Structure 1
Amino acid sequence: MVDDDGFRDFVHARMKRLSRLAYLLTGDYHGAEDLLQTALVKLAAKWPAVARAGEPDAYLRRILYNEHVSLWRRSRHLRNEYSAERLPERASGTDVAASTVRRVLLEQALAKLSRKQRAVIVLRFFEDLSEADAAAAMGVSVGTVKSQTSYALGKLRELAPELHVLIREPQEVRA
């Protein structure tokens, strides 16, 4: 196994974000846990070299994306199952109903995309990666990221017009 060398601190500091990223890629809590666990095991095996190279976040994103696509290829004949065993945690001061509607709309919209398109949208807009960084994470060209982003956004506009409620109108400045 891995000599710690900062691996635990790395994972602990990023666990919440990594869990959300895995969930956005899979659209399923259990699948996200499995995906993240697999990716972390692979990262742990190469941790000393990855830590020395200085880009563990990018390396882990690449593992997550590759594992996500590989799992899909192995199980594409199976349908996605969504479990409702766990209720979302309630944050104080938030409109639970509105945030639930937004989350459901986003999940349904992302489910309408291909795996590659979904990954591009997650990397570009959730992870806020540049086109070049997203291309590196996916192992594709920048042109592929641009075209997949364009196709994905067009598909979302066509198949999920209800997403317009996720865009907040700027509040008027009061004089």
Structure 2
Amino acid sequence: MDGALSFEEFASTRARRLFQLAYVMCGDWHQAQDLVQTTLAKMFAAWGRLRRGRDEPGLDAYARKVLLRSYLSHRRLRRSSELVTAQLPESAAEGDGADLRLTLAFAVAQLPPRNRAVVALHYLEDLSTEAVAELLGMSVSAVKSLNTRSLARLREILAQDRDLLHRH
């Protein structure tokens, strides 16, 4: 072996992180699995070329880009059959943070696809605004604006949720 990262090593060490990103963007366990499989299949098909032209951080960035494009493409084709409801699933035991994670996942799921992508890339993947802009093919100012609007919308959703919970 020439010391280069094999596809198997890449896939086994990145699949979980890719799944987390996919799940935050789409909010669906099965769709997230499909997105990761599509991403890894596309990378496998081009692995020889990809490996020669990129270091590990470059491969990670490429994987995120493929995942993001697959997600946005799937959303455009599907035209969203998701039903957003005002009722949250029953929360897990108090104090373990599961109820907060469910509430946040519910709120993020209500954002449009591009907004979800900005939030997930910036806050889950901890990418800079410039990196998110490059990945999405947008200007930095457009990403900042989208992020600001997304956070404002999340605050509205979470405030409505809090009001709903306090009324019952």
TM normalised by structure 1 equals 0.77
Per mean C-alpha deviation after superposition, the further-off stretch among 32-41 and 5-14 is 5-14
Query: How many angstroms does 1:78 deviate by?
Result: 2.4
* CA deviations over 1:151-174 (Å, ceiling 9, x no partner): 10111112223799xxxxxxxxxx
CA distance in 2, matches of 1:106, 1:18: 19
Query: How many angstroms does 1:15 deviate by?
Result: 1.8
SS at match of 2:138: coil
CA distance in 2, matches of 1:72, 1:110: 15
CA distance in 2, matches of 1:33, 1:157: 29
Aligned to 1:88: none
Unmatched segments (≥5 aa) in structure 2: 85-92, 163-168
Residue 142 and residue 80 in structure 1: after superposition, are their counterparts in 2 closer, same or farther (change >3 A)?
Answer: same
CA distance in 2, matches of 1:66, 1:126: 17
Residue 147 and residue 59 in structure 1: after superposition, are their counterparts in 2 closer, same or farther (change >3 A)?
Answer: same
RMSD (Å) for aligned C-alpha atoms = 2.3
Query: How many angstroms does 1:115 deviate by?
Result: 0.6
Instruction: Give yes or no for contact 2:119–2:147 (8 Å, CA) kept in 1.
Output: yes
Aligned to 1:152: 150
SS at match of 2:127: coil
Aligned to 2:129: 131
Query: How many angstroms does 1:44 deviate by?
Result: 1.1
CA distance in 1, matches of 2:152, 2:126: 19
CA distance in 2, matches of 1:66, 1:80: 23
Of 100, 113, 116, the residue aligned with 1:115 is 113
Instruction: Give yes or no for contact 1:105–1:162 (8 Å, CA) kept in 2.
Output: no
Identical-residue share of aligned pairs (%)? 36
Residue 132 and residue 100 in structure 1: after superposition, are their counterparts in 2 closer, same or farther (change >3 A)?
Answer: same
Instruction: Give yes or no for contact 1:22–1:32 (8 Å, CA) kept in 2.
Output: yes
CA distance in 1, matches of 2:29, 2:77: 19
SS at match of 1:34: helix
Answering whether residue 107 of structure 2 is matched by residue 140 of structure 1, we say no
Instruction: Give yes or no for contact 1:62–1:137 (8 Å, CA) kept in 2.
Output: yes
Aligned to 2:88: none
The correspondence of residues 94-105 of structure 1 with structure 2, limited to 5 A, is 98-105=96-103
CA distance in 1, matches of 2:8, 2:108: 31
Number of aligned residue pairs: give it: 148
Of 64, 72, 77, the residue aligned with 2:75 is 72
